[in-house]
């Protein structure tokens, strides 16, 4: 590993040192040495974009979609799964205590100001769930002037949507209210994974190749309608004190088409390969209130209280879609809540001889609960403390960030079995109190060029589903699970220059990362318990790779950006790679401004991915092209009669009809889609 790192640093210095000039690097206060992507949501207001779409612009991030538009979607950072990525909205956790992940499709881009992606562990500051990284969402604030912004969208698969926002700001307070609506019939065409991808034996493959090939199918019962809204305010009590609050809600109703893995056979019909009567409803509500004092002693103080509510209900007519036998109509509901308070303090730099010292601290107390129809209620208390110092030397060119986190928890008992057909008994969860150290470093090599590195511990407690999933005979939870524990290391170079010949806003990163997990958690068949599917600790796993990212504006008219992530992984127990983790991910975008019009093109490519832990089932590599154009109509020739601020845009997704799948049994559309959007934002 040392050879790779030294070679990487040497190459980076040779490439960047001759151009070093300027200094503009993104940093997050809780981890300044972390490698960060910042995506400004307002820059994409002229498009029909989702959070999942925007995350393609971040190096090291892979989005996994469990179906077409509006379907459950999650994010992976540096090979970490969705349970190992923490998502925050205005500082409040969106990860549920039940499943431990966040549905990104439930977050409206038009309600956001920016998205910050912290690559690398955030456990020291945020505790459990931040193994691979953190996605910080900041809700949209009102601009200095009053504004009204309205848009409407129509497109393929009978898709309709719209949003409206109203913002008002004065010298003392500002407020923003946003509402979004999206619905689609979503009956898309797809091609299942070919049977030869399910086996590795060459003779078996030869026999399968003589069978009829799969045809194209329609994904039935995938329709949905969803609403989301956000209200945010900030009141400045005086020059140094303010109070802010956020209220966010989301609801979705739609069909649940089910998992088609093993159901699609040559000659099957559309109606025979899915759940055509099951429905699913989801709701989320989030409230937070924060008090900020920018002059508190020798620093700044913030106190925040929050509450999050999630509800999910599933109705399965006939009871045969999600259980192995028909049990009649099945209705299940689960409710997940999280409430807590957080106090944080940031001190100002203090000079001590040749060095400067400054510190940050945070204390959090959280209470999580889960209530479900098919199991007893569960709860967990979590308390954490975080302390970070900053030490500056060499006139600020060298900065060290030693940090220490501490987390303790208490999880309620739950029913579980020691083996199949044994009696259900109360079982305790062995919660540990853990220290989570981190050390970061930034070295300024030249103006506009710096070296960064981090070494830190990460930790994830099993979620309630992993611990106490109801025992259905073929699947159950495991109360004896041990937490995931890992160490993370990364090192890399950042280059920034405001101007370089015809180029503007030049930004480049080269990063190497390595993560060693001591005890991974995976859902696998338990051979000793009647082949029951259950989560188990599968031992060590290693992930390493590198990230390249660059962007620039050419002659102030052409915006170019690209990133590449290479990920190598190994699970010690099987000698196989991590599932859902492509070795190579490429993304490139270009946008050209031609007066009042803008044309953009995006390209995404992922190498083959493995869909099961034994590396038997795989999905082929794909390459996708997307194209879009937008124009301010009132600024076009002979269109001065059009209301000012009226904008129209059109997009074509998957231009080359590429077949793509992110998860076995949950297909994606394999034909091009189009969307037409109108937006009115008078200024």
SS3 645: coil
SS3 per residue for 484-504: EEEEEEEEEEEEEEEEECCEE
Which two structure tokens, joined as six digits, stand for 443?
Answer: 């070295």
Which CATH number is 2-680 given?
A: 2.40.170.20
Residue pair 102/82 in contact by the 8 Å Cβ criterion: yes
Residue 615 has a pLDDT of: 65
Which two structure tokens, joined as six digits, stand for 491?
Answer: 């090192």
**CA dihedral sign of residues 543, 544, 548, 549:** positive
SS3 513: strand
b/e sequence 573-599, b meaning 16+ C-beta within 10 Å: eeebbbbbbbbebbbbbebeeeeeebe
Distance, CA of 406 to chain centre: 25
Backbone angles phi, psi at 30, to 5 degrees: -80, -10
Q: Are strands 521-526 and 503-517 parallel, antiparallel or unpaired?
A: unpaired
Q: What DSSP element (H or E) covers 35? A: strand 35-40
Backbone angles phi, psi at 658, to 5 degrees: -75, 135
Distance, CA of 434 to chain centre: 25
Compute the distance between CA of residue 389 and CA of residue 124 in angstroms, rounded to an integer.
Answer: 13
Q: What DSSP element (H or E) covers 14? A: helix 2-16
Residue pair 661/63 in contact by the 8 Å Cβ criterion: no
Number of neighbours of residue 640 by Cβ within 10 angstroms: 10
Q: Are strands 133-139 and 85-89 parallel, antiparallel or unpaired?
A: parallel
Number of neighbours of residue 550 by Cβ within 10 angstroms: 17
Q: What is the DSSP code string of 216-230?
A: -EE--S--EEEEEEE
Residue 20 has a pLDDT of: 37
Q: Alpha helix locations (H) across 517-657?
A: none
Residue pair 215/78 in contact by the 8 Å Cβ criterion: no
Residue 428 has a pLDDT of: 82
SS3 123: helix
Residue 197 has a pLDDT of: 52
Residue 265 has a pLDDT of: 63
Hey, where are the domains in the chain? 2-680
Q: Which of 390, 653, 445, 514 is nearest to 132 (CA)?
A: 514
Q: For 97-139, how does the pLDDT look when each residue is reduced to its tens digit (9 = 90+)?
A: 888 899 999 999 999 999 999 999 999 999 988 999 999 999 9
Residue 172 has a pLDDT of: 87
Which two structure tokens, joined as six digits, stand for 473?
Answer: 């005979």
| Weakly modelled stretches of the chain, pLDDT under 70 | 1-24, 144-146, 193-215, 261-267, 319-320, 322-328, 415-425, 473, 525-531, 613-616, 683
Instruction: Give the CA angle between residues 446, 494, 501 to the nearest 5°.
Output: 70
Q: Which of 353, 347, 354 is nearest to 389 (CA)?
A: 347
Q: Which of 563, 537, 541, 559 is nearest to 550 (CA)?
A: 563
Q: Establish how many alpha carbons lie within 13 A of residue 327's alpha carbon, considering only the half-sphere containing its beta carbon.
A: 11
Residue pair 311/96 in contact by the 8 Å Cβ criterion: no
**Beta strand ranges found along 373-476 (DSSP E):** 375-393, 398-411, 414-416, 425-427, 434-446, 449-460
Residue pair 125/32 in contact by the 8 Å Cβ criterion: no
Which two structure tokens, joined as six digits, stand for 71?
Answer: 């379907």
How far CA 584 is from CA of 51, 62, 607, in Å, comes to 22, 10, 5
Q: Which residues pair with 488 in a beta bridge?
A: 456, 515
Burial of 656 (0-12, 13-18, 19+ CB in 10 A): exposed
SS3 185: coil
Cβ neighbours for 202, distance < 8 A, ≥ 6 positions apart: none
Residue 418 has a pLDDT of: 55
Cβ neighbours for 213, distance < 8 A, ≥ 6 positions apart: 194, 266
């Amino acid at each position: 590993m040392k050879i790779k790192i030294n070679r990487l640093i040497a190459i980076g210095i040779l490439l960047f040192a001759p151009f070093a000039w300027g200094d503009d690097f993104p940093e997050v206060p809780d981890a300044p040495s972390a490698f960060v992507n910042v995506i400004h949501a307002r820059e994409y207001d002229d498009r029909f974009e989702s959070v999942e779409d925007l995350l393609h612009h971040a190096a090291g991030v892979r989005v996994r979609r469990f179906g077409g538009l509006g379907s459950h979607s999650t994010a992976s950072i540096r090979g970490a799964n969705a349970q190992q990525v923490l998502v925050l909205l205005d500082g409040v956790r969106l990860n549920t205590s039940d499943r431990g992940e966040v549905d990104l499709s439930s977050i409206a881009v038009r309600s956001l100001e920016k998205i910050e992606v912290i690559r690398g562990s955030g456990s020291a500051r945020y505790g459990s769930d931040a193994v691979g990284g953190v996605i910080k969402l900041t809700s949209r604030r009102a601009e200095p002037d009053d504004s009204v912004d309205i848009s409407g969208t129509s497109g393929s698969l009978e898709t309709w949507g719209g949003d409206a926002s109203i913002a008002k700001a004065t010298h003392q307070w500002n407020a923003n209210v946003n509402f979004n609506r999206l619905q689609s019939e979503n009956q898309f065409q797809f091609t299942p994974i070919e049977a030869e991808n399910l086996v590795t034996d060459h003779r078996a493959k030869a026999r399968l190749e003589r069978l009829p090939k799969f045809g194209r199918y329609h994904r039935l019962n995938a329709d949905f309608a969803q609403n989301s809204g956000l209200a945010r305010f900030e009141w400045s009590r005086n020059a140094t004190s303010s109070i802010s609050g956020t209220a966010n809600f989301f609801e979705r109703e739609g069909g649940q088409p089910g998992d088609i893995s093993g159901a699609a056979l040559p000659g099957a019909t559309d109606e025979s390969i899915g759940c055509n009567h099951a429905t699913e409803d989801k709701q989320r509500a989030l409230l937070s209130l924060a008090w900020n004092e920018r002059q508190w002693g020798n620093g700044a103080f913030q106190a925040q209280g929050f509450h999050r509510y999630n509800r999910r209900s599933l109705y399965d007519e006939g009871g045969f879609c999600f259980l192995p036998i028909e049990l009649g109509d099945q209705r299940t509901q689960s409710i997940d809540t999280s409430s807590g308070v957080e106090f944080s303090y940031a001190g100002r730099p203090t000079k001590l001889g040749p060095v400067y010292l400054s510190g940050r601290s945070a204390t959090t107390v959280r209470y999580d609960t889960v209530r479900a129809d098919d199991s007893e209620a569960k709860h967990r208390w979590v308390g954490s403390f975080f302390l970070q110092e900053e030490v500056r030397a060499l006139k600020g060119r060298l900065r060290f960030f030693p940090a220490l986190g501490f987390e303790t928890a208490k999880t309620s008992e739950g029913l579980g079995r020691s083996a199949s057909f044994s009696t259900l008994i109360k079982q305790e969860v062995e919660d540990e109190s853990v220290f989570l150290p981190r050390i970061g470093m930034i070295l300024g090599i030249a103006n506009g060029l710096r070296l960064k590195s981090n070494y830190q511990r990460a930790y994830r407690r099993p979620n309630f589903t992993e611990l106490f999933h109801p025992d259905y005979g073929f699947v159950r939870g495991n109360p004896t699970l041990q937490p995931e524990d890992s160490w993370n290391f990364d090192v890399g170079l950042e280059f920034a220059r405001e101007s370089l010949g015809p180029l503007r806003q030049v930004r480049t990163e080269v990063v190497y990362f390595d993560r060693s997990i001591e005890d991974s958690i995976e859902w696998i068949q338990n051979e000793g318990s009647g082949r029951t599917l259950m989560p188990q600790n599968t031992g060590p796993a290693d992930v390493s790779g590198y990230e390249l990212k660059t962007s620039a504006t050419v002659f102030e008219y052409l915006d170019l950006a690209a990133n590449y992530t290479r990920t190598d992984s190994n699970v010690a127990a099987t000698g196989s790679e991590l599932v859902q983790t492509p070795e190579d991910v490429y993304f490139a975008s270009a946008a050209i401004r031609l007066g009042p019009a803008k044309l953009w093109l995006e390209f995404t490519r992922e190498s083959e991915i493995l869909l099961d832990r034994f590396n038997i089932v795989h999905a082929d590599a794909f390459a996708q092209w997307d194209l879009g154009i937008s124009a301010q109509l009132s600024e076009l020739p002979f269109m001065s009669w059009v209301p000012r601020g009226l904008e129209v845009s059109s997009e074509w997704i998957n231009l080359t009809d590429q077949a793509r799948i992110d998860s076995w049994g949950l297909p994606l559309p394999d034909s091009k889609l189009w969307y037409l959007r109108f937006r009115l934002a008078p200024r």
